[in-house]
Amino acid sequence: MTIVAMDHVALTVKDLEATCAFYDRLFGVVTHAELVVEGRALARQIRMGGAMLSIHQQGNGIDLVAQAPVPGAGDFCFQWGGTIQSAIDLLSAHGIAVIAGPAPRVNVNGVPSQSVYFRDPDANLVELMAPD
């Protein structure tokens, strides 16, 4: 047996609602699942295309988490379905600064690509990668 694909990445955030709203405004998301206790959302899985983030409210009491679940510790890459310029334009339209790139990269399938990097509201490093 082998690994087929990454299913999701979990992030711990300061404000679950604000983080989910950020990704929804930027990419449009579908809520896949949500953990609500006593009317309070503690975690939410959101899908964007073929990617999923599991967003955890900091201090939510869930035990099965990373060793040091702190906001801003994430560093992950989404494969972008358009050109790298369209990714830059999207970020610019939302007032989000590109902090690095475009930079040459090679994606998981060995395809030459370009990446740009930005920060989300918790200062996680987010990469958008598009094939050349």
Q: Which residues are catalytic?
A: 127
| 84: three-class secondary structure by DSSP | helix
CA distance 69 to 47: 21
Residues 6+ apart with CB under 8 A from 108: 79
Of 121, 124, 22, the closest CA to residue 77 belongs to 124
